[in-house]
Amino acid sequence: MRALKILAVTMAFVLGMAVALQAGQNKFGVSDSRSVIFESPMRVGEVLLPKGEYKVLHTMDGDNHIMVFTQQRGKNPVEVKIKCTLVPLTAKAPATEKYYVLNASNERVLRELVFRGDTAKHVF
């Protein structure tokens, strides 16, 4: 009887770990929810986001990949939705990286976002 209880607890633990590991990434190789910090204002799509921390959700709208950036602090949190393209990586990303260009107004414009552990990058 005791062996059966130990086996049941062990199986529950293994199943729980398997679910937790699967919850990390979706079928596209990216996590559904992440956070990112912009040290300076960053233009995402048509909106200039103030510097700060943002929750980033990867969602789908039909066949379109959509990234939703939601400011984590502030009296009136900013939220931006932008279409992205997922580009597969050759291996899991070792670090979170932000790639941007400067526009004519000297604003940073987000072009790519890579999150540590993901196997695809977001291209805008």
Q: For residues 42 and 115, what is the distance between their CA atoms, to the nearest angstrom?
A: 17
* Cβ neighbours of 29 (radius 10 Å): 16
Asked whether residue 77 is domain-assigned, the answer is yes
For residue 6, the model assigns a pLDDT of 53
Q: Is residue 101 part of a domain?
A: yes
What pLDDT was estimated at residue 100?
A: 98
The number of domains in the chain is 1
The one-digit pLDDT tens for each residue of the chain (124 residues) are 665 555 444 554 444 444 344 445 567 789 999 999 999 999 999 999 999 999 999 999 998 999 999 999 878 899 999 999 999 999 999 999 999 999 999 999 999 999 999 999 999 9
How many Cβ atoms sit within 10 Å of the Cβ of residue 70? 15
Domain range enclosing 66: 28-123
For residue 9, the tally of other CB atoms under 10 A from its CB is 10
Left (φ > 0), alpha (ψ -120 to 50) or beta: where does 11 sit? alpha
Distance CA 82, CA 102 (A): 19
Evaluate whether residue 22 is within a structural domain. Answer: no
Would you say residue 38 lies in a domain?
A: yes
**114 occurs within a structural domain:** yes
User: Is 18 a domain residue?
Assistant: no
Residue 7 lies in a domain: no
DSSP state of 116: T
pTM for this entry: 0.76
The pLDDT of residue 4 is 52
pLDDT at site 20: 41
Helix or strand holding residue 38 (H, E): strand 33-38
Residue 10 included in any domain? no
